[in-house]
């Protein structure tokens, strides 16, 4: 599997709504970051589903290196 494209050096802070489903871009090619737009087609990547259980701000990973996909774990701070 190839490495994802690093989109940002910080997380995307998104206000999610309880009961909604979101699909996080794992490949880094989407033009609708941090969400999937289907740009991964033909690659080994698949989007990661996120189910919002409550309405709140969520930190979606922008560097694509997180171990807790789709949420930021601070990996963008590691060099």
> pLDDT in tens for each of the 79 residues of the chain?
689 999 999 999 999 999 999 999 999 999 999 999 999 999 999 999 999 999 999 999 999 999 999 999 999 998 6
CA angle 22, 53, 65 (to 5 degrees): 50
Say what the pTM is: 0.93
């Amino acid at each position: 599997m190839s490495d994802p494209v690093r989109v940002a050096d910080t997380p995307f802070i998104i206000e999610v709504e309880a009961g909604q489903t979101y699909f996080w871009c794992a490949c880094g090619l989407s033009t609708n970051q941090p969400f999937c737009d289907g740009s991964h087609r033909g690659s080994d990547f698949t989007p990661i589903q996120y189910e919002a259980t409550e309405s709140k701000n969520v930190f979606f990973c922008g560097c694509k290196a997180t171990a807790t996909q789709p949420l930021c774990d601070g990996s963008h701070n590691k060099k």
